[in-house]
Amino acid sequence: MSSEKRSRMLREVVFVDGVRTPFGKAGPKGIYAETRADDLVVRCIRELLRRNPALPPERVDEGAIAATTQIGDQWLTIGRTAALLAGLPKSVPGFAIDRMCAGAMTAVTTTASGIAFGAYDVAIAGGVEHMGHHPMGEGVDPNPRFLSEKIVDPSALVMGSTAENLHDRFPHLTKERCDAFALASQQKYAKAVANGRIGPELVPVATRSAEQGYGLATVDEPPRPNTTLDGLATLKTPFRPHGHVTAGNAAGLNDGATGCLLAAEDVARELGLTIGMRLVGFGFAGVEPEVMGVGPIPSTDKALASTGLSIEDIGLFELNEAFAVQVLAFLDHYGIADDDGRVNPWGGAIAVGHPLASSGVRLMTQLSRQFAERPEVRYGLTAMCIGIGMGGTVIWENPNWEGVSE
């Protein structure tokens, strides 16, 4: 065997297309109460292939699907089983990923790394969470050492409590600021729907109900367009008496799935696939689990450092709104105003919902579609906090950039 090292050239990776199901409310009255989680993913995979007929199915080299609660209809190596159920050739492998809320984001960065290295040409990445069938923490058996050895504070295992801890750490992030941010999210989302900006990426899903029969999910169920500041002020604070976090300034419990196509840029051009955006770099970081909401700050610092960019280079931000307070902590850290027009211009998870492992690709799909409308913007960023004390950030380049100053 030769002892000479083989040199490799990393390839450019592009986001071709992204889709998602309408997001539903978790629970017995939600639109997906009697719909399987894996069938939601199957709809996304089939829709990606339908919308991109230039891609021969046999050219898909990998399928990575994330789920936080890998049990029941979200189990059994869902990246492989969903690919088979979607009709992809049996030669297409697949795997499952769990990084809690950043599952789909990690599905993208993992398969994109394989594409850059040359292991794959084309991959499908996405995520699903059916919180109605599988509430967060179902079947979990935390090691007692976490508490007995004080590795984490008990609040670290309750995401809403970690958000209350952020309010303790940053008292200037008041409930009033969070409620105002939440109201803006609802308003921006409603405007985006009315203007046709949210909708084209949605995959209609056939649903069934033992009581109501069959239906078709075509729009998101969680948004509350009639939200008011006065109404938000009256909501209960379930994680702490006289607290700050409410159902109005946090994402809800939701069901939904996402999927996207990734490819080497040269392969995308060879096949005639759309180039929605180009991967620049990414970073993941750990923080104290008790304040997991600050996670996107060090992960963004990592991503910026590895790409040689600064926060001033970022022209669009898609930040997952798990809680308003964690988004505001990010914005304050970087000196960005609460109402900066670059941030979540079409609203966020407070309005549309956050089906845990699926949300990362929702952020990317929206950013890609915003890039198409904004050729003056060169770089965009998708970021999210992650349970058990982490953050994830992915930086993208707009292929439509005209070279003008931002």
- Would you kindly state where each structural domain of the chain is located, as residue ranges? 13-134+151-394
How are beta strands 213-217 and 205-209 bridged, if at all?
Answer: antiparallel
Catalytic residue check, 172: no
C-beta separation of 344 from 338 below 8 A: no
Q: Which of 44, 178, 260, 385 is catalytic?
A: 385
Listed in sequence order, the residues at least 6 apart from 11 whose beta carbon sits closer than 8 Å to its beta carbon are: 115, 116, 118, 264, 265, 266
Catalytic residue check, 385: yes
pLDDT computed for residue 63 by the predictor: 98
Residue 317's DSSP bridge partners are 343, 381
Of 257, 219, 254, nearest to 358 by C-alpha is: 257
Q: Which of 44, 101, 178, 260 is catalytic?
A: 101
- Note down pLDDT in tens along the chain; length 406 residues: 444 556 678 999 999 999 999 999 999 999 999 999 999 999 999 999 999 999 999 999 999 999 999 999 999 999 999 999 999 999 999 999 999 999 999 999 999 999 999 999 999 999 999 999 999 989 999 999 999 999 999 999 899 999 999 999 999 999 999 999 999 999 999 999 999 999 999 999 999 988 889 999 999 999 999 999 999 999 999 999 999 999 999 999 999 999 999 999 999 999 999 999 999 999 999 999 999 999 999 999 999 999 999 999 999 999 999 999 999 999 999 999 999 999 999 999 999 999 999 999 999 999 999 999 999 999 999 999 999 999 999 999 999 998 854 4
- C-alpha 377/C-alpha 105 separation (Å) is 22
Structure tokens at 402: 């005209």
C-beta separation of 205 from 40 below 8 A: yes
How are beta strands 13-20 and 277-286 bridged, if at all?
Answer: antiparallel
| pTM of the complete model | 0.96
Phi-psi category of 137—alpha, beta or left, where left has phi over 0 and alpha has psi -120 to 50? left
Question: String of b and e for 214-233 (b: at least 16 CB within 10 Å)?
Answer: eeebeebbbbbeebeeeebe
pLDDT computed for residue 284 by the predictor: 98
Structure tokens at 403: 């070279």
The Cα-based distances of 152 to 51, 145, 156 in angstroms read: 46, 9, 6
CATH code, residues 13-134+151-394: 3.40.47.10
Catalytic residue check, 260: no
Of 20, 24, 42, 23, nearest to 33 by C-alpha is: 24
Q: Which of 130, 133, 134, 354 is catalytic?
A: 354
Of 259, 258, 261, nearest to 276 by C-alpha is: 261
The Cα-based distances of 285 to 239, 319, 330 in angstroms read: 26, 16, 14
